[in-house]
Structure 1
């Protein structure tokens, strides 16, 4: 493995710098300021892309990665920023690094790969000073016996990325910013042009959307927001925290992506009806059902998630019959009028807020989850009365987890029919209604005006009815 000619020259010119790095390594202070954050970022990045470990768990303040939990809050925020940027732009970062090497990194040099990606992400996509990103990446290499011999390469390559940043960004702009396996699936489902637009859309951080108890126009005005076609409110960019906003403490609204708020609105009038919310946590959809006047049973199989659900409902002043149970084992004393099944899925529609998804999941996960969803949907249909409604939804962009699941159930269940969603009832989101009358939102939809982030999560939803 060698650098291209320019980078080799840079490496030769940095011997003095390397000598200083070695001196620092042997000094009494083993860690430079900021080094612990970069070490944690590289370690967590490797866990995501090499071991398919979900990011959320590793960034949990109580049970997360020990290296992350040991950091100050400001360093934790830096780690999150580095990881989000690295994972969102990973194919482009890897292309940038690869373009500066005459030969690829050695096989198995994953730790070195992660150091370079963390350094390049800071230089290309964050406002971290170049010298700091380079210096700390070199220190990372010197601290690791596996990477020490590559410290000069790390120095030269990252310095060149800093010097040629704009040229490099232009060169890699055409590289799709999602894994090849997922791009291929999107192209089959939506066509090449839309697939590439979805890939670009996931680079934009998600907006903050609120579901309000009432007076959407009033809350939009008070919170500097805009009313959405879903009836919710989208906030413009703001400084501060969600709990500090007006209306949070009194439970006037809750945070919920615009797409996630759609399934609970597909039932129509619910006043006085008995509705079961299956897989109910964290409770946003449960709250919508209660707000609509339903008598709600909220089912959740995780004790911790049920606790979170109860806390969220309590803040909003809502009540529901919360039940700790696996839905496969749940036997209601009486059939329900309606059921909401927001099924577990690959979450590929949420990459704007969870950029690790496409690196911690793969085709095999989608196939497995589609099977789980089909079993759950068949079970949900048994829980409603004849004439009862089941809304099936998930936050996957892959038709294998949506349209194909519903098609199989409809094909061999004669007493079930699909109820088409009228596009006319969803002004502003008509393009999300499929020819079959199902909802299919894409991150490219819901274009907003100046000052507001556009897009929404990728979601699928369909209405099924048991025939009388």
Structure 2
């Protein structure tokens, strides 16, 4: 039996964790790749992400040549090979040979080597890949997005999800200078955008803490908060810490709070790398009791993360609509807690990296009905690079189909409240 390529085997296991067991890649990545050297770890992750990103189109390509659905592991081997051949740059003969080796090593699929070889060669001969539609979202997500945004917008989102996203950086100062130095460009909202594929830790400025990785959309909530030097600001649910760094860079007196000790350790590391300070608190936001209220609170609430699918194509394959009801209830509770933690006259920024209105606009309407002294501050959302039609009655709605000519952005919702 041929020796199995470790990176491919790890990628196959990762895809199976997502499609068969409903696990997110972030939950299993370390476990599945710890035995690999760094280059193979990166390759396994790249193969798994690519396979999941193009899975819908791969299934369409395979459909005419499968009389019945194969075992899940065999199906994923076929998907992995199809991705490698058509999008991953692997020579077809090498991808087919590797797929046959994987299936021969499979417990249940060992007798399917001939099927895998024949199906993949039939797909190659059909040569229909380029004519197939862009991968579509699963029905559980596509249907509500169509209802909310319409066909053209969802088609644009699916185009964005099919592309490898660029790398965005928030810089302490001199965005144009850093864009020139790193070979990138400045987005309309002031982030530095680089082409995908860069090794982050090897880039100039990383060791010096001159910048941090943060999607351009994710950088806007802190800008909407408009932190001022010396203000006491609470970053509620702070990990992974990009917004904490923005607030600290503006000179605010920042308290960064999150329930995860592991994730907050990363926040502390990034603060240290960037030469900035904040009080780092590991606690449950719903029971956290400071000695006095804050001038402002930034609440980036736990959410479905459906706005980040271009970076995390595993999410719509691992999750389903019914998974998010507890998160929606938690968002409302956290918003109520943010009100009690904010001093009179202070402001609250509520945001989620979600495309679902239940986690954005509907939460705003519900909060306003629960708290008569709470009002919206739409003027705070008039930021550089923001189109006026992105701002609705409840807040700023960012979508992955925006900026298609420069690589899109994550989906986000941002609202700014004032507390009476």
State whether TM-score is above 0.5.
yes
Helix, strand or coil at the partner of 1:259: coil
Partner of 1:112: 74
1:458 aligns with 2:411: yes
TM-score by length of 2: 0.95
Q: C-alpha distance in 2, partners of 1:301/1:71?
A: 31
User: Residues 224 and 380 of structure 2 are in contact (CA less than 8 Å); yes or no, is this contact kept in structure 1?
Assistant: no
Partner of 1:134: 96
1:74 offset after TM fit, Å? 3.3
Partner of 1:77: 42
Structure of higher CA gyration radius = 1
Partner of 1:276: 234
Helix, strand or coil at the partner of 2:246: helix
User: Residues 296 and 347 of structure 2 are in contact (CA less than 8 Å); yes or no, is this contact kept in structure 1?
Assistant: yes
Q: 1:445 aligns with which of 378, 385, 402?
A: 402
1:376 aligns with 2:337: no
Q: 1:428 aligns with which of 379, 385, 396?
A: 385
Post-superposition CA distance 1:328-366 (Å, at most 9, x none): 110110011100000111111111111111111210122
Post-superposition CA distance 1:431-460 (Å, at most 9, x none): 563231511111111244xxxx42111111
Q: 1:164 aligns with which of 103, 109, 126?
A: 126
1:362 aligns with 2:320: yes
Higher mean alpha-carbon deviation, 366-375 vs 392-401, is at 366-375
Q: 1:234 aligns with which of 186, 190, 193?
A: 193
Specify every segment of 5 or more residues in structure 1 that has no aligned partner in the other structure, as ranges: 1-24, 26-30
CA gap of 1:419–1:303, structure 2 versus 1, over 3 A, is same
Helix, strand or coil at the partner of 1:322: strand
Helix, strand or coil at the partner of 2:3: coil
1:427 offset after TM fit, Å? 4.3
Post-superposition CA distance 1:355-384 (Å, at most 9, x none): 111111210122221111111111111100
Partner of 2:164: 205
Helix, strand or coil at the partner of 1:461: strand
Post-superposition CA distance 1:170-195 (Å, at most 9, x none): 1x22x642112111111011011111
1:422 offset after TM fit, Å? 5.8
Q: 2:13 aligns with which of 19, 43, 63?
A: 43
Partner of 1:53: 23
1:316 aligns with 2:286: no
Helix, strand or coil at the partner of 1:202: helix
User: Residues 103 and 110 of structure 2 are in contact (CA less than 8 Å); yes or no, is this contact kept in structure 1?
Assistant: yes
Partner of 1:333: 291
Helix, strand or coil at the partner of 2:304: coil
Higher mean alpha-carbon deviation, 192-201 vs 428-437, is at 428-437
User: Residues 160 and 404 of structure 2 are in contact (CA less than 8 Å); yes or no, is this contact kept in structure 1?
Assistant: no
1:182 aligns with 2:141: yes
User: Residues 232 and 252 of structure 2 are in contact (CA less than 8 Å); yes or no, is this contact kept in structure 1?
Assistant: yes
1:90 aligns with 2:47: no
Q: C-alpha distance in 2, partners of 1:223/1:206?
A: 17
Helix, strand or coil at the partner of 1:206: coil
Structure 1 vs Structure 2 CA RMSD:
1.8
Specify every segment of 5 or more residues in structure 2 that has no aligned partner in the other structure, as ranges: none
CA gap of 1:74–1:308, structure 2 versus 1, over 3 A, is closer
Higher mean alpha-carbon deviation, 395-404 vs 112-121, is at 112-121
Post-superposition CA distance 1:77-134 (Å, at most 9, x none): 3322221111111111111111222x2225xx21221221122221222111111111
User: Residues 390 and 463 of structure 1 are in contact (CA less than 8 Å); yes or no, is this contact kept in structure 2?
Assistant: yes
CA gap of 1:422–1:376, structure 2 versus 1, over 3 A, is closer
Q: C-alpha distance in 2, partners of 1:242/1:368?
A: 35
Helix, strand or coil at the partner of 1:296: strand
Higher mean alpha-carbon deviation, 71-80 vs 115-124, is at 71-80
User: Residues 169 and 191 of structure 2 are in contact (CA less than 8 Å); yes or no, is this contact kept in structure 1?
Assistant: yes
1:250 offset after TM fit, Å? 1.8
1:274 offset after TM fit, Å? 0.8
TM-score by length of 1: 0.85
